[in-house]
Chain A
Amino acid sequence: EAGVAQSPRYKIIEKRQSVAFWCNPISGHATLYWYQQILGQGPKLLIQFQNNGVVDDSQLPKDRFSAERLKGVDSTLKIQPAKLEDSAVYLCASRRDRGVQEQYFGPGTRLTVT
């Protein structure tokens, strides 16, 4: 079974530029998460999807961050415009369904904003 795929693995941009990250969850997993992991901290949930609907986006800075999961499979997270404090690893995770708590993580995208 293929794991959670993410791309790109690394991205360097200047502040005020825009960037997009892509995630392909494990096949059949209905729930998808985006986390932000700042250096020296644990992952912080940004947004959770159940199929193509948003379950929780309370921690998403909506003035600059957006995410979508149009067909209930792949997802894209966008930042526009980026700030220096957005430098972090962005992790995508998926889970099969509501009754199963275990989340499977992708390798992450390391974003550096200069």
Chain B
Amino acid sequence: AQSVTQPDIHITVSEGASLELRCNYSYGATPYLFWYVQSPGQGLQLLLKYFSGDTLVQGIKGFEAEFKRSQSSFNLRKPSVHWSDAAEYFCAVGGLTGGGNKLTFGTGTQLKVEL
């Protein structure tokens, strides 16, 4: 069965500081990995995705993530956080399986940005 672990429930950073959100996954085949962001009262917006190829992927809003197969990780990073980045971030894993290509989400990391 596929699963995602986001070990940090809450993270607080100062504006301008760097950010790393952790994500570990369990998946029996080649995983497709995603990071989504959810602002209060909003749906989920895709930040970036990894399907294959270069293990460092760039996304929107200056975010990037690195796929490390040996560590089963897909951590999200941003070199300089802006106050508008405060939101909840979800990591998800999926794949081309007989289960209909469904995504499994982690429990999320709530990001607070201090001015």
Measured CB to CB, the residues of A under 8 A from B are 4, 31, 33, 40-45, 48, 50, 55-56, 91, 93, 95, 98, 101-108, 110
Contact = CB atoms under 8 A, between A and B. Distances in A.
B103 interface: yes
B60 to A, nearest CB: 13
Interface in B77-100: 90, 92, 94-96, 99-100
A51 B34 CA distance: 24
B100 A48 contact: yes
B25 interface: no
Given A48-B100, A50-B100, A103-B103, A41 B43 contact: no
Interface of B: 4, 32, 34, 36, 41-46, 49, 51, 90, 92, 94-96, 99-108
Given A43-B105, A45-B104, A108-B43, 4 more contacts: A42-B105, A50-B100, A95-B101, A101-B103
B107 A41 contact: yes
Contacts of B45: 105
16 contacts: A33-B102, A42-B92, A42-B105, A42-B106, A43-B44, A45-B102, A45-B103, A55-B100, A56-B100, A91-B43, A95-B101, A101-B51, A101-B96, A102-B34, A103-B46, A105-B44
